[in-house]
Chains A and B, each alone.
Chain A
Amino acid sequence: MKIKPPLLTILLTILLAIMVVIALSVGAVRVQIRDGIRILMSAIPYLGQRISLEDIPKSHETIILSIRLPRVLLAGLVGFGLSLSGAVLQGVLRNPLADPQVLGISSGAAFGAAVAITFGLTYSSFGIGGIAGASFIGALGTIFCVWRISFSAGKSSLIGILLAGIALSSLLTSAITMIMVFDREKLEKVYMWMLGSFSAAGSLRVIFMSFFAVIGMLGILPFSRTLDIMMTGDDAAKSMGVDVEVMRRWMIIVSSLIVAACVSVSGIIGFVGLIIPHVVRLISGPGHRRLLPLTCVVGAIFMIACDTIARTIAAPSEIPVGAITAVLGAPYFLFLLARSTRKGAIR
């Protein structure tokens, strides 16, 4: 049965809301789902005044609103951002294997974080600690280098961008290894940061990430049709009036900013930016007008689900969320891929 796109969007949005409520309710301290909904609604201006929380322990209110809600929102926003960036990079680089890691952004962020951890940068500004700040700068610095290497004489080469990203990524990964070898005391901290986690979530990080999510929506979604046209090739797109160079730079800048923000607040979470757009493409078709919004929603659902599993499956310990995204996502993706190949949809 083929579900029409508007209905699919509604169903996925409902699923996202359900996922948020479930994620808020489960954890080391279990809260009834009904109570979770009431606590959540009590935080809504005007509506909240009519909801009584007298029969719910005050601690539950604190757990849900101050601890879990920022974490769930941050996970959702990071899932949103990584998936959107992945879909855009796959389109703009015309490469199904492109994802936020391929341009070296994640490695740049990890290098920044490793340097910050090694030098003990612990200051905090606008909710972003020294490590997160350094990783954000590292991510942007890397994309700037990729940019300088691969864009020359006002023109870009697709293969040049990818090769520059891969080469810089390898270089930075080696540098991180060196840092870890020479400062073994910090090895575990750097390694755990690289595996990704939302344990440091807070409301300021949510605001920080929301800002970049809005930039992503405003900077990318209006150009869905242009992304479609760019998939026909540079010459064809130019003949249709698309300024390919300008659009490619714009898309890479905006998606890099989003990824840099994501990585700085959560560490490196692989797999999502690569796989979620492919999974959604199997449902929505390849057109970016449908693909991009659905990818954002599915990315958010997937990341919230993975983070909920990461913090509950071995509670009170946590499993790195990056490990969960791969363990859950890879088999499902392989199943979809095998099914599509059998039907002849992928060649």
Chain B
Amino acid sequence: MDILFEKVSKRFGDKTIFSDLSLRISKGSLTVIMGPSGCGKTTLLNLMMRLIEPDDGEITGVPSRKAAVFQEDRLCETFNAVANVRMVCSKGLNDSIIISHLVQLGLSERLTVPVKNLSGGMRRRVAIARAMLADADIILMDEPFKGLDDKLKFETMDYVKKFRNQRSLIMVTHDREESQYMDGELIIL
């Protein structure tokens, strides 16, 4: 089932973020949402996650099982990387698979350290691995590669594309290079 925004409006106080927005996001697609700062990219993701409700209009077709990468990492600070990923995985997924994913993201040396002791880039990759391994039908990412150097950014984008597994992935970015490399359906706000 496709995700449909039908005449959706959202205001915060006096500021109208968007009004009468209608769009369709195909099921199983990789969609990149672009636009300048403050245009409502994050609001769009938050609406899909039901963290906020639209003032008008209707949003349908968003799967109930969701995974997200927020602009902030939102990890469990005292847990190590493996434990952070494990808590959102299905019970059948064992630690060796989680470890192999974290190793692919270049975290092999820091698997057992509480994430509060990891660098910003490492924490970002843990958050990405957590979303990719979550027991979810849709993955929503808000500026997921922010803070990664160029080499890591491209390696991580390859990882995301490789393990998306036909699931819907909606990514918000303001970086044209990232949107081109991800090569998805483009929505410009």
Point out residues on A near B: beta carbons under 8 Å. Answer: 225, 228-229, 231-233, 235-236, 238-241, 285-287, 344, 347
Chain B contacts of A231 at CB under 8 A? 76
**Residue among A229, A233, A235, A347 with the highest chain B CB neighbour number at 10 A:** A235
Whether A232 lies near B67 (C-beta < 8 A) is no
Chain A contacts of B75 at CB under 8 A? 232
Main secondary structure of the interface of A (DSSP, over half): loop
Q: How far is the CB of B64 from chain A (nearest CB, A)?
A: 7
Among residues of A, the one whose C-beta sits closest to the C-beta of B52 is A235
Q: A235-B51, A240-B66, A240-B67 are in contact. Are A287 and B74 (CB under 8 A)?
A: no
Q: How large is the interface on B (under 10, 10 to 19, 20 to 34, 35 or more residues)?
A: 20 to 34
Q: Does B50 contact A (CB under 8 A)?
A: yes
Q: Does B4 contact A (CB under 8 A)?
A: no
Q: How far is the CA of A232 from the CA of B130 in the complex (A)?
A: 12
Q: How many A-B residue pairs have CB under 8 A?
A: 51
Whether A239 lies near B79 (C-beta < 8 A) is no
Q: How far is the CA of A23 from the CA of B75 in the complex (A)?
A: 43
Q: How far is the CB of B38 from chain A (nearest CB, A)?
A: 19
Whether B79 lies near A286 (C-beta < 8 A) is yes
Chain A contacts of B46 at CB under 8 A? 235
Whether B51 lies near A239 (C-beta < 8 A) is yes
Whether B76 lies near A239 (C-beta < 8 A) is no
Q: How far is the CA of A235 from the CA of B75 in the complex (A)?
A: 11
Q: Which of A228, A238, A241 is in CB contact (< 8 Å) with B76?
A: A228
Chain B contacts of A232 at CB under 8 A? 74-76
Chain A contacts of B78 at CB under 8 A? 285-286
Q: A235-B51, A286-B76 are in contact. Are A240 and B134 (CB under 8 A)?
A: yes
Q: How far is the CA of A239 from the CA of B48 in the complex (A)?
A: 9
Q: Which of B45-71 contact A (CB under 8 A)?
A: 46, 49-51, 64-68, 70
Chain A contacts of B136 at CB under 8 A? 240-241
Chain A contacts of B76 at CB under 8 A? 228, 231-232, 286
Whether A287 lies near B67 (C-beta < 8 A) is no
Q: Does B98 contact A (CB under 8 A)?
A: no
Q: How far is the CB of A101 from chain B (nearest CB, A)?
A: 23
